[in-house]
Amino acid sequence: MALSSRERVRAAAVKLFATKGFHGTGIRDLAQEAELSSASLYHYMGTKEDLLAEIMHTALNRLLDAAREATAGGGDPVHRLRTLVALHVLAHAVGPAETRVVDNEVDVLSPAAREPVVALRDAYERLWASAIDEGVAAGVFRVEHPAVTRLALLEMCSGVARWYSPRGPLALDELAEHYAELASRALGCTSAPGVTDLRRCREIVAKEWGVSV
């Protein structure tokens, strides 16, 4: 189905902000990509910065909702952490442009616009922190610096958006499972190789991102 003008503006912004950066993307670039005049653009957005902030909000809310749904009910920290890793990797592989905007352009927002975005990211990272901390407390994770390790794993998983190509040798399932395994190992997981509920992750990603995975 053809996209509405509003959707085309959004898609154009995600694509161009991801590839050329916020400051590298001009209003006229956006207009051309969205097949609109630069004046018409402003019928669908506030300022260019508003557009960026809105993209970040929806992207982060989507990731946060997905992560909460996937880990609802608590349970085994190992399983939860592997689920978070798989979900994060799938999201970054399925929507690399969107996630690259979120990961790389936060600093261009004014402090007032940045604050709620950072709050969303912090809420998301707390899900990781609690899974890791509970795993360490339970003795199933053995790692020296849990907070630093969390940051290391997050960066590792976010990096997927920088290089993954669906035309590569790895299918999404293998990719997600492999990263879950890398994370488990890095955390010194002592339990038997945990099984990741990939089917559930795929369903959530398919629902939230509107793609077939």
Partner DNA sequence: CAGAGGCTATCGATCGATCGATCGAACGTC
Partner DNA sequence: GACGTTCGATCGATCGATCGATAGCCTCTG
Residue 174 near residue 185 (C-beta atoms within 8 A): no
- Residue 21 backbone class (left: φ over 0; alpha: ψ -120 to 50; beta: rest): left
Q: Is 167 in the site for a second copy (CB under 8 A)?
A: no
Given 4, 6, 19, 40, the residue binding a second copy (CB under 8 A): 19
Q: For a second copy, which stretch binds (CB under 8 A), given 28-36, 46-54, 66-74, 142-150?
A: 142-150
Q: What does the block give as tokens for 34?
A: 């969205």
Q: Is 133 in the site for a second copy (CB under 8 A)?
A: no
Given 15, 114, 178, 200, the residue binding a second copy (CB under 8 A): 178
**Euclidean distance between CA atoms 114 and 201, whole angstroms:** 29
Identify residues 102-121 at the interface with a second copy (CB under 8 A): 104, 107-108
Residue 208 near residue 196 (C-beta atoms within 8 A): no
Rounded to a whole number of angstroms, the minimum distance from the CB of residue 206 to a second copy is 23
Q: Is 175 in the site for a second copy (CB under 8 A)?
A: yes
Residue 99 near residue 164 (C-beta atoms within 8 A): no
| CA dist list (Å): 6 to 46, 50, 106, 125, 150 | 12, 14, 23, 31, 37
133 contact choice in DNA, a second copy, none (CB below 5 to 8 Å, kind-dependent): none
User: Where on the chain is the footprint of a second copy (CB under 8 A)?
Assistant: 19-24, 104, 107-108, 144-145, 148-149, 151-156, 158-160, 162-163, 170, 174-175, 178-179, 181-182, 185-186, 188
